[in-house]
Homo-oligomer: A and B are copies of this chain.
């Protein structure tokens, strides 16, 4: 076989399969947003990457350390790494840009055209992305997380009037993760309330929910998938049996239709997609940034 040399392209692909290219995300803050963004860009390429976040690079010294780490990775893998930067400080930024790598500058690329458009200079202050513990935004977010925890799974009817949204659906349809995500990401007070066989027998929504019809949003789920999920928690139970899951899902969907509650199926959706649809449908007012 060694008589048939690989083409340059095949060799590159082979190397990438053996040792995925290293991608650095260099940030003066946490770099979480940049990492998520880089992940989504990289997912456009059908190959694996080794993604490394380098947070809190808030001085030229740390920028220099980061550049050395990038160069070392390049030497190890035998090709130059990919680097996403979001450094606000121009000195640190130029140090990282000096590394032997493909450097994609996620900050300057967009700040420059904005400065021209808005006709004002940007502040170049570090750490303005996340609000810290003294801000109203932060307090609102913590209050929403506490609210969602206290109003998880119909635990409390107290202060339901304060909810921005109340998710309803059968047990294990995805209400808890969605509520917590809405609270964490958006400071939205999201309660959630299960629809259970008692409700189906009575043929009515839980009585505590009646005054809040316009805040209700329903989650449903494919019965097969529901049965799988419930079996992981209570193997072989009636609760997890496929016939029971079919019954509950069918009853819950009918109840939501009868009551004019908007709902979606969570079966093939991510938490982010469900949360986005909830915000669109319930039309929750967002703050001006």
- A interface residue numbers (CB < 8 A to B): 9, 12-13, 16, 20-21, 29-34, 36-37, 39-51, 53, 55-56, 80, 82, 84, 86, 88, 102, 104, 106-107, 109-111, 113-114, 117-120, 122-125, 128-134, 138, 141-142, 145-146, 149, 152, 174, 176-177, 180-181, 184-185, 225, 266-273, 275-276, 280, 286, 288-289
- Contact partner of A270 (CB less than 8 A), chosen from B133, B145, B271, is B133
Q: Which residues of chain B come closer than 8 Å to A133, judged between CB atoms?
A: 174, 225, 266-270
Using CB atoms, name the residue of chain B closest to A270: B130
Q: Which residues of chain B come closer than 8 Å to A37, judged between CB atoms?
A: 33-34, 37, 106
A117 touches B130 (CB 8 A): no
Ranked 6 nearest A-B pairs via Cβ: A40-B129, A130-B270, A44-B122, A43-B128, A30-B276, A30-B272
- Contact partner of A51 (CB less than 8 A), chosen from B48, B110, B272, B289, is B289
Using CB atoms, name the residue of chain B closest to A32: B272
B48 touches A289 (CB 8 A): yes
Main secondary structure on A side of the interface with B? mixed
For A117, A138, A288, the residue with the greatest tally of chain B CB atoms inside 10 Å of its CB is: A117
A82 to B107, CA, bound (A): 16
A142 touches B43 (CB 8 A): no
State how many copies of this chain the complex holds.
Answer: 2
B122 touches A45 (CB 8 A): yes
B104 touches A110 (CB 8 A): yes
Q: Given A39-B289, A41-B111, A102-B113, decide whether A273 and B29 contact each other with a Cβ distance below 8 A.
A: yes
Q: Which residues of chain B come closer than 8 Å to A225, judged between CB atoms?
A: 133
For A130, A270, A280, the residue with the greatest tally of chain B CB atoms inside 10 Å of its CB is: A270
A40 touches B102 (CB 8 A): no
Using CB atoms, name the residue of chain B closest to A121: B45
B129 touches A288 (CB 8 A): no
Nearest chain B CB to A70's CB is how many angstroms away?
14
